[in-house]
């Protein structure tokens, strides 16, 4: 089965930056769409960003202009670069892989991001 492992979370001050990484146990193939989601306490899990194997990206309005999703296919790794962080960005961030042919999804364990002064 596919395994996803997130890393890079931590505590950062408002206005700061973090880069999250997601190590994928297989190639980020043509049929796979990668994404980042987040969940804050008391809130529903929300979509943050997605990227196709062809490099097309979609970014949630709440983070557009601040967050960037990218892949390093040679390293089987997906990144979420987070700039100009706000306290409302505080959440557990989850990496997601979706096989667009089968609709099967895989999730990582999550990494905590806390934005606080």
Residue 27: predicted pLDDT: 84
Q: Please, which pLDDT band fits residue 14 given cuts at 50, 70 and 90?
A: very high
Instruction: State pLDDT tens for residues 16-48.
Output: 999 999 999 988 877 889 999 999 999 999 999
Strand partners, 74: none
Instruction: State pLDDT tens for residues 63-106.
Output: 999 999 999 988 999 999 999 999 999 999 999 999 999 999 99
More confident of the two residues 4 and 73: 4
| Long-range contacts, 14-18 (Cβ 8 Å, 24+) | 14/85, 14/86, 14/87, 14/115, 14/116, 14/117, 15/84, 15/85, 16/85, 16/115, 17/81, 17/82, 17/83, 17/84, 17/85, 18/82, 18/85, 18/113
Residue 31: predicted pLDDT: 82
Residue 53: predicted pLDDT: 82
- Whole-angstrom CA distances from 60 to 3, 8, 46 are 25, 20, 9
Residue 65: predicted pLDDT: 98
Residue 51: predicted pLDDT: 96
Q: What is the rounded distance in angstroms from the CA atom of residue 94 to the CA atom of residue 106?
A: 10
């Amino acid at each position: 089965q596919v395994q996803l492992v997130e890393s890079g979370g931590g505590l950062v001050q408002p206005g700061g930056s973090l880069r999250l990484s997601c190590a994928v146990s297989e190639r980020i193939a043509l049929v796979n769409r990668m994404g980042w989601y987040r969940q804050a306490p008391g809130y529903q899990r929300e979509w943050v960003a997605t990227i196709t194997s062809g490099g097309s990206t979609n970014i949630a309005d709440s983070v557009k202009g601040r967050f960037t999703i990218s892949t390093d296919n040679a390293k089987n790794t997906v990144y979420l670069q987070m700039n100009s962080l706000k306290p409302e960005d505080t959440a557990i961030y989850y990496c997601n892989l979706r096989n667009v042919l089968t609709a099967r999804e895989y999730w990582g364990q999550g990494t905590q991001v806390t934005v606080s002064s």
